[in-house]
Structure 1
Amino acid sequence: MQQIDPSFTALPLRELADAALSRARELGCTHADLRVERLRTQNISLRDARLESATDGEDAGLAVRVVHEGTWGFAAGMALTTDEADRLAEQAVAVARVSAAINTDPVEMAPEPAYPDGTYISSYEIDPFTVPDPDKIALLVDWSERLMSADGVEHVQSMVLLAKDQKFYADLSGTSTIQQRVRVHPQLTAVAVDRSSGAFETMRTLAAPAARGWEYLTRDLWDWSGELAEIPELLREKIKAPSVQAGRYDLIVDPSNLFLTIHES
């Protein structure tokens, strides 16, 4: 069973919450909450089975949200200190006071029981950040070489984006929760070139980003072998296909084409 990373729980989470919430209460807030978040990312990219880039990133910060005299206020910062938490509570109240002048609908919080010491960890088996980088690169090299060995495939771009998001939450009502979520997004794009016209076409894998661990790439959660075998033939058909003529058509749209549309709607 997965556990919250000790490096996150070792942060002064409770001390930050006490500082922010105590100050918000002193300033007359009817509701206040604190969030501390840390996001770790890794992006590995290959071109034609050769490593192009490998970058690691980590961001952390905290935010205070309040309801003061019926108006929301918010402030955020990066320093994980009690002085900063105290300052952010004051800033959030100051924002609420300014916003109150145009607030015609005072906020009333719905009744909700407290949830002390809650923990949530997303469903994954292998933490991708525990997998050695050479193993990750080797898998992408193998997939890339499979595509490059097929007739008509000139170039292959492969990548994997990994993320681990950790968040601590506490509010005046007594709720305190901590969560850890892992996401992976592997993708390969094959390129074909029409030598006679100079035109080129691309086709990529359709596996969606998933709230899974490294097992998403190595087990039967997605048919990677089947898709890699299918892409070259589909790409050959695509580069030979005539341009669409103007008119009315019925379309079959893969969900991967609707991610952004659904997200923004």
Structure 2
Amino acid sequence: MPELDPTFTVLPLAALADAALSRARDLGAAHADLRVVRTKTLHRVLRDAKLEGSSDASELGLSVRVIHQGSWGFAAGVALSTEEAARLADQAVAMARVAQPLVPAAVDLAAEPVHAEQTWVSAYDVNPFDVPEGERHGRLLELSQRLLAADGVQHATARLLAVQENTFYADTAGTSTTQQRVRIAPELEALHVGDTGFFAMNTVAPPAGRGWEYLTGTGWDFDAEVAQLPDWLVEHARAPSVEAGRYDLVVEPSNLWLTIHESVAHGTELDRALGYEAAYAGTSFATFDRLGSLHYGSEHMHVTGDRVTEHGLSTVGFDDEGVAAQSFDIISAGVLVGYQLNRQMAAEKGLGRSNGCAYADSAGHIPLQRMPNVSLTPDPEGPDVAGLIAGVERGLYVVGNNSWSIDMQRYNFQFTAQRFFAIQDGELAGQVKDAAYQATTTDFWGSMDAVGGPSTYLLAGTFSCGKGQPGQGAPVSHGAPAARFRDVNVLNTRSGGEV
């Protein structure tokens, strides 16, 4: 069982909290919280089995956030002293006083039980930062060399990104939490150079809230995928260009997670729906007045948000407002029934307790409403992938994410993939290339007529989802089964051909 890093817990966390929160109370703050955040990042890149890039970074700081006279105030610094913590409380209150005349309504926070002296550590076996450098390099080198030795592969790139995030939170209500998250993102890319051009293909292994064991057999078989990747790549290079038109799609979760992320998860962030978040990637068509009535998709569509899924990139014990992790419904039988919340928006809209979606990517940034793990629920009795394909007369089987585009309302979109396979009369008939599927959010999810069973489920995601100004990145996972969609418009990305 992993334990908290003692080099973080040895910091004077309780003393910093006492200094900041006592000073905030003395200045009349109705609420105050302190966060101490340390983020360690490891990045390695091998190009053609030779080290091309290597970096190790660590960021450490503290921040104080207050509500004073109905307005937020925030200040951040890097000196871990009680004097600095008290000074930041002074500065945060001063900022709140400056902002107060501009606040349209007094800030209130939804109630949350006190969580005193709580600790939480994510689920992993071996911390990547504890692995000897020779072992890390050796594993990436081994996988790179296997790709380079395969027919049809002229170049190979191996990438490894790992993060250890430690957070201490305390507030004037009495909550204090200490947490540690470890996550890892390995990726292999093969490049084929042929008569018809350059073609690249990546592994579809998702980033995960796991440790070094993820690269050595637990959770994903990298050896098997690397062995198959060259054949898929060469077949892709030789594949015919897709004929634009209407197709039934069977979409693997290795592709569908990104469609969920862009069209569902971003679309159900309440700050976007309310228009509070607009400059960075827009607002949302799923406005608050449509809660409980908007038909987001078909009756087969059940979407949840959570911060509790094991190995999820958004999984925590407590969010950055001291709210305990939980699971909640977003879409039920195709209907919008919930949003992602922080404590302020939950109180403002009378929605009860926050569902724990506040996060800041460093001590230097204020917590925003950020997405949890947002996932499509599998059908307990649903078919396997072969069963989904068997129900398609003319279609495409879609694997792995690639490029994408979506409008500023999270409504009109198009997505490509690592691999598209033609489906003819219920059977796979080889790859095609230059394809993208295009739809509106409600049309696409409304066309979903079958959801795969638990055996088709995969938890995928991204290390960095962008939001806010100044911009912040947040890790997030999206689980999904394979699913089938009827009569979807498919474009040829070389010639267009929208139908």
The normalised TM-score by structure 1 is 0.93
Matched, 1:58 2:64: no
| Equivalent residue runs for 1:206-221 within 5 Å | 206-221=204-219
Give the Cα separation in 2 of the matches to 1:110 and 1:58: 34
Q: Give the structure with the larger helix fraction.
A: 1
| Aligned match of 2:44 | 44
| Alignment check: 8 A CA contact 1:208 1:256 kept | no
Question: Where in structure 1 are there 5+ consecutive unaligned residues?
Answer: none
Question: Where in structure 2 are there 5+ consecutive unaligned residues?
Answer: 268-499
RMSD: 1.7
Pick closer, same or farther for the CA change 1:82–1:3 going to 2, 3 Å. same
1:110-133, Cα deviation, whole Å (9 max, x unpaired): 333321110000001111111101
Identical pairs, percent:
50
Q: Give the structure with the larger strand fraction.
A: 2
The normalised TM-score by structure 2 is 0.51
- Structure 2 counterpart of 1:242, from 240, 243, 252: 240
Moved more, 156-165 or 249-258: 249-258
| Aligned match of 1:127 | 127
Matched, 1:201 2:199: yes
| Equivalent residue runs for 1:1-265 within 5 Å | 1-194=1-194, 196-197=195-196, 199-251=197-249, 252=251, 254-255=255-256, 257-258=258-259, 261=262, 264-265=266-267
- Deviation, structure 1 residue 242: 3.2
Pick closer, same or farther for the CA change 1:257–1:112 going to 2, 3 Å. closer
Give the Cα separation in 1 of the matches to 2:22 and 2:210: 38
Give the Cα separation in 1 of the matches to 2:185 and 2:259: 16
- Deviation, structure 1 residue 53: 1.9
Q: Which amino acid aligns with 1:146?
A: R
Q: Would you say how many aligned residue pairs link Structure 1 and Structure 2?
A: 263
Bigger relative CO (Cα 8 Å, ≥ 6 apart): 1
- Deviation, structure 1 residue 77: 1.5
Q: Which amino acid aligns with 1:153?
A: V
| Aligned match of 2:412 | none
Pick closer, same or farther for the CA change 1:163–1:263 going to 2, 3 Å. farther
Give the Cα separation in 2 of the matches to 1:58 and 1:173: 30
Pick closer, same or farther for the CA change 1:170–1:220 going to 2, 3 Å. closer
Give the Cα separation in 1 of the matches to 2:266 and 2:110: 27
Give the Cα separation in 2 of the matches to 1:237 and 1:256: 25
Give the Cα separation in 2 of the matches to 1:16 and 1:49: 46
**Secondary structure at 1:209's aligned position in 2?**
coil
